[in-house]
């Protein structure tokens, strides 16, 4: 009986988690849509406000409106006129205390992560962590800069450009983790994609990626798959 229960759990658990995540996302979108309706309704007469409240009861309308809003925003800022307005908006928010700190931090992180020309989270590597002899998977997020890069070069006696910034996710929740800065010579590149590495981390090593061609290590030796 225990075997059958576990087998049934393995069948239903992925579906249940998928439905739960989708409902959470839809709930978040619905909340934003409700807030937009309230904001627009506050500027309209009472009769129009009642009509807007009826829109909230239409299934799926919030998702359609939010997707359309994102597409229109992307089309607007893709030209010079939109870029100018975006710069003015950034200047306004950067002048507001408290809001400036939060907005600037989130904007820098989002621009780095989602930029099509960026290198953040494009490469999975093996790093010696938390001590020599043990290894874990990390993601390259960029290179140290400014004073940090200068100090790293002084400490190691090597070129600061040889250091990379790394994010080491925790298991099974990869949204939390550790930030490391290490010489690239200590890393071991992996042929697996970032998606495969994330699956490997979330599953605590149970879902192993398929073996690919050997990767040449910095030492000149081929990696074993």
Structural tokens at position 144: 């140290």
Does 62 fall in a domain? Answer: yes
pLDDT digits over 102-119, tens only? Answer: 887 777 767 666 655 555
> Which domain covers residue 144, as residue numbers?
124-202
Does 84 fall in a domain? Answer: no
pLDDT digits over 14-35, tens only? Answer: 788 888 888 888 888 888 877 8
Domain count, the chain: 2
Under the banding of pLDDT at 50, 70 and 90, the label for residue 219 is very low
Are 67 and 128 in a shared domain?
Answer: no
Does 225 fall in a domain? Answer: no
The two most distant CA atoms of the chain are separated, in Å, by: 75
Does 101 fall in a domain? Answer: no
Closest CA to 27 of 63, 64, 57, 67: 63
Closest CA to 122 of 137, 138, 139: 139
Does 105 fall in a domain? Answer: no
Does 85 fall in a domain? Answer: no
**Range 5-29 burial, b when 16+ CB lie within 10 A, else e:** eeeeeeeeeeeeeeeeeeeeeeeeb
Say how far apart CA 222 and CA 143 lie, in whole Å.
25
pLDDT the model gives residue 224? 44
Does 148 fall in a domain? Answer: yes
Is the whole-model pTM more than 0.75? no
Does 219 fall in a domain? Answer: no
Residue after which a domain boundary falls, among 75, 107, 132: 75
């Amino acid at each position: 009986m225990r075997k059958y229960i576990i087998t049934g759990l393995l069948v239903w658990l992925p579906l249940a988690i998928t439905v739960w995540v989708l409902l959470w996302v839809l709930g978040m979108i619905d909340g934003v849509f409700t807030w937009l309706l309230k904001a627009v309704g506050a500027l309209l007469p009472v009769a129009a406000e009642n009509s807007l409240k009826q829109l909230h009861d239409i299934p799926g309308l919030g998702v359609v409106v939010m997707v359309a809003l994102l597409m229109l925003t992307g089309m607007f800022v893709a030209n010079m006129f939109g870029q100018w307005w975006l710069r003015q908006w950034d200047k306004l928010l950067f002048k507001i205390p408290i809001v400036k700190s939060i907005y600037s931090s989130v904007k820098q992180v989002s621009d780095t992560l989602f930029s099509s020309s960026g290198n953040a989270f494009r490469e999975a590597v093996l790093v010696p962590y938390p001590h020599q002899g043990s290894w874990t998977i990390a993601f390259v997020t960029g290179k140290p800069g400014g004073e940090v890069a200068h100090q790293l070069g002084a400490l190691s006696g090597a070129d600061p450009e040889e250091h990379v910034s790394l994010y080491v996710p925790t298991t099974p929740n990869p949204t939390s983790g550790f930030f490391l800065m290490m010489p690239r010579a200590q890393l071991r590149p992996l042929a697996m994609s970032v998606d495969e590495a994330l699956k490997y981390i979330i599953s605590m090593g149970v879902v192993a990626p398929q073996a690919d061609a050997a990767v040449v290590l910095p030492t000149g030796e081929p990696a074993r798959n």
